[in-house]
Structure 1
Amino acid sequence: MPAARPAHLAVLAACLTLANTAAWAQSAAFPVTAEQRRVAEQVAGAGVPLSELAPNAPDSHTVVAGDTLWDISQLFLKSPWRWPELWGMNRDQVRNPHLIYPGQILHLVKVDGRARLQFGQRVGGGGAGDTVKLRPQMRISALDNNPIPSIPLHLIQPFLTDAVVFDTDVLATAPRIVATQEGHVLLGKGDLAYARGNFRGATDFRIFRTSRVLRDPASNEILGYEAPYVGTADLIRPGEDRRLTSGKTEVVPATLQISQAKQEVGVGDRLAPAPQRNLERYVPHAPDRPMTGQIAAIYGEAINAGQNQIVALNRGKRDGVERGHVFALWRDGEPVVDKTQDRPQVIKLPDERHGVLFVFEVYERVSYALIISVKEPVKPGDRFTQP
């Protein structure tokens, strides 16, 4: 492919960014403003320094089913979370200006010490000797045409349904299951449950066990109340207080049908209205300012966590944490004894960076992150910083 001038590449990258921004805007009815276009052009013309490329970065990659933007970025970059820069992503105002599909070809262009990825189209019969031609393209496509995700969504989609953190212990006063169908001890999908409480007009509910307290490892402050997810239920008949002819009141609980049961449902389980979940594409980016914190808890029953597991962080919205934030995990340096001197002395080895976290859910005082990579087991109290 003949060399192109830097200005031409910048314009081409900007065109690609804006074309895909238009696709996203049409599919999501999200207008693209002049300011968004300006920022997109500015970022698209920058790229990343060549020093940020992976040692064996390929010249091109054909997207296949099962790819994620994170996977592809690992082919090209030392730090995969920097792929928005490589593609000219305007992550602040346009959540997803790039809809990348299986079969598309990504070509790495290096000019003036910087690198950018651009869309290409294979010319010829598809043989190994064919050339790759770069040209601006616009692809108008609905979101259900299976563009590749930013990260492995299958790892977090169940969690987005299964877990919730409440700022206060609202489940203590939430509607509760008081009886089961035909005296069953435990219920499964399709069974009926009877509940009392203030349903506040909701008809779809998530079922939780008693919540556990999440505390800050450093200050012991209560960060929130994590509720173990049990299942879901639909309201069939509301409850009522019937006035009998005797003058007494007869309490009739509401009737619900269990629509999903991850665990067996029982008397005492609590109900919370099911929220609308926004499974938007997550754009990785570093915090805009220095940020440090600790692992507050490992999700589930595990003592330690490894790659692709979920951890709770002791930082949330009030601390500036956002969905898509990337953090570095650190391992505390071990104390050792220096025996090289006349008198042995205890010293502390330097802290070592050993993993990467990707934040996907944020609450007021706590957030959840996926462990993207890690060298050593992660435990509560471990430290994280901006990458």
Structure 2
Amino acid sequence: MSRPRPMKITRWAALATRAAVAAGVAAALPALAAPNYPVTPGQRDTARQVAQAGVPLSELAPDAPDSHVVQRGDTLWDISKLFLKSPWRWPELWGMNLDQIRNPHLIYPGQVLVLVKRDGRATLQIGQSMTADPQTVRLSPRVRAELLDNGAIAAIPLHLIGPFLNEAVVFDTDELERAPRIVATQEGRVLLSRGETAYVLGDLGGAREFRVFRQPQPLRDPVTREILGYEARYVGTADYVRPGSEQSDADSKARVVPASFVVTTIRMEAGVGDRLSPVPQRELTAYAPHAPAVPVDGRIASIYGEALSAGQNQIVALNKGRRDGLERGHVLALWRAGRADFDTTSGGKTPIQLPDERHGLLFVFSVFERVSYALIVNVKDPVKPGDRFTAP
């Protein structure tokens, strides 16, 4: 992301003074008190600690702007990266002005964030809208807007992870073996495309919208080789059309009539034997970048899909999950393994081991019991199964 230039504000000091008025602006935003944007006790404590004095200037990004007009397309990660060296340290950014920025999830396009530096500390305040000021420098629009349903900006680009919230799924056991299954297809077709009919047997449990999966494969820990869960290959979705039944023919033999489904979306063509699982409710709002509260040291279990390595904005599976303390929104550091080498400077060949080098960041967006999925936010070298990650 290109970094915007600092805005030239002719009456910057006066604007900083008037920023107290923004409390009224914030109060006028009806969604500000919405309860469904979680802020953990630890994050709130961090914010309270810096709310009075702000943060040391040493914690600011080297070219942090004096102010920033929030744009459609901004994310909380983008804004944190503008002002702070570590974009996941959003509690400090929020805590710079706890009274005005009451909830970091609820920052809106058009708001002016003003950085005030005083006595070796920095505070962030919400200034008055400056859209009519001829000296205002507006940011160029991003590729696509990242707004929540209430108009607030999102924590990270949702379009990068949205498709995977229903697609990247790990089952703790091989439960799909007992799930409803496609037993026949429309007019005996070998494969089904969108809009075609599938016939299904099994307990539907009252659901009406289902994901379709191919046979799940064991997901193994790259170090211990133990099975962490079963990763199912996503096929698409199908909607319930009519129920199945039982009928008797002329010889009083019972026959089962399968339930009917229509294929609604596909990643690959569906077929006989594919399994169905109810579509869970999607939650796109409960993301806030933050570091784990406890030490984390794990490995990349696999690259999502069939690639052998991954780069920025791709998805990886981690060998740590809910039981290990990982949660949605955790930011993790990626490490490149140091290679084995030899010291030839002393006349011989002494074996040496070069240290691991940190070279990227992960953002955890989906957590299961023993496995998590993460987005590669940035990285220098290709990421492979077995690569190490830690707390940042």
Q: TM-score range by the shorter chain?
A: 0.7 to 0.9
CA contact (8 A) 1:17 1:89 kept: no
Q: Does 1:66 align with 2:73?
A: yes
Secondary structure of the equivalent of 1:256?
strand
Alignment equivalent of 1:205, drawn from 198, 210, 222: 210
Map of 1:1-387 to 2, 5 A cutoff?
1-2=12-13, 19=27, 23-25=31-33, 27-28=34-35, 41-45=48-52, 47-88=54-95, 96-122=103-129, 125-128=132-135, 144-244=149-249, 246-387=251-392
Opposite residue 329 of structure 1, the aligned amino acid is L
CA contact (8 A) 1:13 1:45 kept: no
Which one is further off, 60-69 or 346-355? 60-69
C-alpha distance in 1 between matches for 2:132 and 2:102 = 36
C-alpha distance in 1 between matches for 2:279 and 2:136 = 54
TM, length-normalised to structure 1: 0.86
Opposite residue 204 of structure 1, the aligned amino acid is E
Opposite residue 187 of structure 1, the aligned amino acid is L
CA contact (8 A) 2:44 2:91 kept: no
C-alpha distance in 2 between matches for 1:210 and 1:88 = 48
Opposite residue 278 of structure 1, the aligned amino acid is E
> Following TM superposition, by how much is the alpha carbon of 1:147 offset from its aligned partner in structure 2, in angstroms?
2.1
- Calculate percent identity across the aligned residue pairs: 62
CA contact (8 A) 2:52 2:96 kept: no
Residues 314, 96 of structure 1: alpha-carbon distance in 2 compared, 3 angstrom cutoff: farther
Deviations 1:172-194 (A, max 9, x none): 12111111101112111111111
Residues 48, 210 of structure 1: alpha-carbon distance in 2 compared, 3 angstrom cutoff: farther
RMSD of aligned alpha carbons = 3.4
User: 2:144 maps to which residue?
Assistant: none
C-alpha distance in 2 between matches for 1:95 and 1:242 = 62
Opposite residue 228 of structure 1, the aligned amino acid is R
C-alpha distance in 2 between matches for 1:13 and 1:300 = 51
Residues 281, 111 of structure 1: alpha-carbon distance in 2 compared, 3 angstrom cutoff: farther
C-alpha distance in 1 between matches for 2:220 and 2:63 = 43
Which one is further off, 43-52 or 257-266? 43-52
Deviations 1:45-76 (A, max 9, x none): 35432212111111111122212121222222
Deviations 1:146-170 (A, max 9, x none): 3221111100001112221110011
Residues 185, 2 of structure 1: alpha-carbon distance in 2 compared, 3 angstrom cutoff: same
Residues 213, 257 of structure 1: alpha-carbon distance in 2 compared, 3 angstrom cutoff: same
Structure 2 gaps of 5+ residues are 1-11, 138-146
C-alpha distance in 1 between matches for 2:48 and 2:29 = 11
C-alpha distance in 2 between matches for 1:246 and 1:365 = 52
Secondary structure of the equivalent of 1:361?
strand
CA contact (8 A) 1:14 1:44 kept: no
